[in-house]
Amino acid sequence: MTYDSNNIFARILRGEIPCDRVYEDDHVLAFNDIAPQAPVHILVIPKGDYLSIDDFGAKASAAEIKGFFAAIDHIAAARGLKANGFRCIANTGTHGGQEVPHFHMHILGGGPVGRMVPGA
Ligand code: 5GP
């Protein structure tokens, strides 16, 4: 699968579609999910064109990878999620239920977020 530069998150990165931004630096943009599944539901996306978490791991530079995870740490601290914990989810591909083909990490927290896989 090749990267589709018209996916919704690419358009958010280009400023063509607004987002409720919570954090931004050289490597990432983070914004509130439009349909939150928890009291805190933030999406963290790299600024580079990566389809999925495995594509990011295979192709991103060390600085991009470090920057991505440092941003998650920063957001978790800033939103007070570190004391009681939170969950990160990277849905990947068809079986993983990925809807938007630009790598993104969901940060879910602000309360108990339930079982790891609903229905399991
Ligand atoms: P996925 O299933 O690909 O892991 O998750 C995609 C997420 O993007 C969903 O949670 C969905 O609510 C969110 N989303 C889709 N379109 C938009 C949008 O235009 N703005 C924002 N902020 N979130 C979106």
Neighbour count for residue 89 (Cβ, 10 Å)? 15
How are beta strands 86-89 and 28-32 bridged, if at all? unpaired
Question: In 1-120, which ranges are E strands?
Answer: 21-24, 28-32, 40-46, 86-89, 105-109
Kindly tell me the burial class for residue 58, based on how many C-beta atoms sit within 10 Å of its own C-beta (0-12, 13-18, 19 or more).
Answer: exposed
Q: Look-up: residue for tokens 């600085």?
A: 63
Domains, the chain, with CATH or none: 8-109 (3.30.428.10)
Would you call 46 helix, strand, or coil by DSSP? Answer: strand
Q: Whose CA is nearest to atom 5 of ligand 1?
A: 99
Substitution site in 43, 94, 108 for ligand 1 pocket (most atoms within 8 Å of beta carbon): 43
pTM exceeds 0.95 for this model: yes
- Nearest ligand 1 atom to the CA of 101 is 3
- Which residues are catalytic, by number? 104
Q: What is the pLDDT of residues 7-66, one digit of tens each?
A: 999 999 999 999 999 999 999 999 999 999 999 999 999 999 999 999 999 999 999 999
> In angstroms, rounded to a whole number, what is the distance separating the alpha carbons of residues 1 and 48?
16
The verdict on the CB of residue 34 being under 6 Å from ligand 1 is yes
Answer yes or no: is the C-beta of 97 below 6 A from any ligand 1 atom: yes
